[in-house]
Amino acid sequence: MKKNKIAGKTMEAWKEEYPLLDKLVSTKEVFWVNPEYESFQTASQQISLNENDVKEAEERLKRFAPYIAKVFPETKEMDGIIESPIVYIPSMRQQLEQVYEQKLPGDFLLKCDSHLPISGSIKARGGIYEVLKHAEELASQHQLLKRGDDYVILDSEKFRSLFSQYSIAVGSTGNLGLSIGIMSAKMGFNVTVHMSADAKQWKKDLLRSKGVTVVEYADDYSKAVEEGRKQAEKDPNCYFIDDENSRDLFLGYAVAASRLKQQLEDLKITIDQDHPLFVYLPCGVGGGPGGVAFGLKLIFRDHVHCFFAEPTHSPCMLIGMMTGLHDKVSVQDFEIDNITAADGLAVGRPSGFVGKVMEPLLSGSYTVSDDKMYRLLRSLADTENIYLEPSALAGMAGPVHLWKSTEGQSYLNHHQLTDKMKKAVHIVWATGGSMVPKEIMEEYYRKGL
């Protein structure tokens, strides 16, 4: 029998080169330390994006804030800035210590992107940003909008009728579709969301109720994106939001960092040489966690340590980064099925763009079983009364992994962090959940028993 090759090598050869693949292929939980990780000084020279790019995105979101406050009244209190709370989770930390029989020193905080207004997930950052940027470009081309205008004027028939001549398309496992769909429909665009088989019914129903066209596929995320891209190419007035390659999405996510910096200052939390910051980010295709981590590295540099979290059945970014093959391989190539209850993370092929940017910046990555995500979901509800969707719990396993694995210990030793851990700050990035219907959340909660 002829053996199938993966990017020119047999599975055996890959496993020999990267022994961790053995565990990954058998969907066991792993913790991986990134050998390409560099000091920020060195890393920043390899990256084409910088502070100014993020600043520009931040300024654009400020220009749109009066309009957002007007058309989404739930954002009024925040003056149209789409931002989420950050909260201490001391009871959850205790629970983790008990369940995993592991001391976890330092402060634990939860960044509640689950409670971002408009679409209730991290996608309310990048997704909405890219729609706004596109709208601004179109309106400027038609000489209907210029810098200095009060963007509240976008809430009018004149603008809606302009945007109705254009369309927007996107491929999604659900949450990106929600963000792009809701925002685009509000502005007046024709919008089509290409949904993978993982997408939950309630997300499709919600979008249709807002006038969004939802196309469903029996296949996974990569297929939905591919089909979306193909359809969009046929129509010159259609703008395709490319989750696998978009610089704008990435920068929209990166704006989170300066906002977080302010929130930490308000809480009188210092991040410096003696107070390291650890951030755990659930990863699908990579844009969300990559953008946030990039923004954080620009601000906190070597004092922040970013880790990505993926389901054991969809470790696409980990495999892409470890092998250096990025988007040239999928988890399916390695006979991993990409079937997970963490719908937001059900991605088999990572973004090559994000993987390359993150190569010198990411500290490491780990995988979490679906079972564990459900159990953590239930624990967080019981201890802190916060309800998240399964994907959003992937981050919560990070600190335990870091302490319990020999790889995690060696990372701490190597960077002389072990003695500083009492003063460390751990931020678990909660990426979604506030829009999950009650009966579905109850089902999740039951599964966590």
Which of helix, strand or coil describes residue 9? Answer: strand
Among 127, 171, 177, 286, binds ligand PLP (CB under 6 A): 286
Minimal distance, residue 389 CB to ligand PLP, in Å? 6
One DSSP character per residue, 189-237 reads -EEEEEE-TTS-HHHHHHHHHTT-EEEE-SS-HHHHHHHHHHHHHT-TT
Q: Does 284 sit near ligand PLP (CB under 6 A)? A: yes
Minimal distance, residue 54 CB to ligand PLP, in Å? 17
Cβ proximity to ligand PLP, 327 vs 389, nearer residue: 389
Residue 87, burial from CB neighbour count under 10 angstroms (0-12, 13-18, 19+):
middle
Q: Does 391 sit near ligand PLP (CB under 6 A)? A: yes
Cβ proximity to ligand PLP, 139 vs 249, nearer residue: 249
- How far is Cα 398 from Cα 411, in angstroms, rounded to an integer? 13
Cβ proximity to ligand PLP, 190 vs 330, nearer residue: 330
Which of helix, strand or coil describes residue 158? Answer: helix
Residues 96-135 binding ligand PLP (CB under 6 A) are 121-123
Cβ proximity to ligand PLP, 138 vs 396, nearer residue: 396
Q: Does 167 sit near ligand PLP (CB under 6 A)? A: no
Region near ligand PLP per CB under 6 A, out of 26-34, 41-49, 182-190, 278-286 = 278-286
Q: Does 282 sit near ligand PLP (CB under 6 A)? A: yes
Q: Does 84 sit near ligand PLP (CB under 6 A)? A: no
Q: Does 434 sit near ligand PLP (CB under 6 A)? A: no
Q: Does 171 sit near ligand PLP (CB under 6 A)? A: no
- How far is Cα 36 from Cα 359, in angstroms, rounded to an integer? 6
Q: Does 175 sit near ligand PLP (CB under 6 A)? A: yes
Instruction: Specify the amino acid at residue 8.
Output: G
DSSP state of 37: -
Assess contact for 21 and 334: CB atoms under 8 A: yes
The footprint of ligand PLP on this chain (CB under 6 A) covers a number of residues equal to 19
Tally DSSP H helices, then E strands, for the chain.
19, 13
C-alpha gyration radius of the chain: 21
Distances (CA, A) of 402 to 280, 306, 307: 10, 12, 10
Q: Does 315 sit near ligand PLP (CB under 6 A)? A: no
Region near ligand PLP per CB under 6 A, out of 65-73, 137-145, 281-289, 358-366 = 281-289
- How far is Cα 78 from Cα 204, in angstroms, rounded to an integer? 28
> Which residues have CB under 8 Å from 209's CB, separation 6+?
none
> Which residues have CB under 8 Å from 65's CB, separation 6+?
79, 80, 81, 151
Cβ proximity to ligand PLP, 123 vs 186, nearer residue: 123
Among 432, 436, 444, 448, binds ligand PLP (CB under 6 A): 432
Minimal distance, residue 254 CB to ligand PLP, in Å? 12
Q: Does 288 sit near ligand PLP (CB under 6 A)? A: yes
Retrieve residue 92's tokens: 């959850």
Q: Does 246 sit near ligand PLP (CB under 6 A)? A: no
Pair type for strands 364-368 and 304-311: parallel
Among 96, 283, 318, 402, binds ligand PLP (CB under 6 A): 283
Residue 168, burial from CB neighbour count under 10 angstroms (0-12, 13-18, 19+):
buried
Among 340, 389, 411, 425, binds ligand PLP (CB under 6 A): 389
DSSP state of 3: P
Among 289, 399, 408, 448, binds ligand PLP (CB under 6 A): 289
Among 177, 252, 344, 355, binds ligand PLP (CB under 6 A): 344
Among 61, 392, 397, 424, binds ligand PLP (CB under 6 A): 392
Residue 194, burial from CB neighbour count under 10 angstroms (0-12, 13-18, 19+):
buried
Q: Does 355 sit near ligand PLP (CB under 6 A)? A: no
Retrieve residue 69's tokens: 């406050």
Q: Which of 393, 378, 373 is nearest to 441 (CA)?
A: 378
Q: Does 222 sit near ligand PLP (CB under 6 A)? A: no
Cβ proximity to ligand PLP, 286 vs 448, nearer residue: 286
Among 120, 287, 320, 408, binds ligand PLP (CB under 6 A): 287
Cβ proximity to ligand PLP, 229 vs 303, nearer residue: 229
Which chain residues interact with ligand PLP by CB under 6 A?
121-123, 175, 282-289, 344-345, 389, 391-392, 431-432
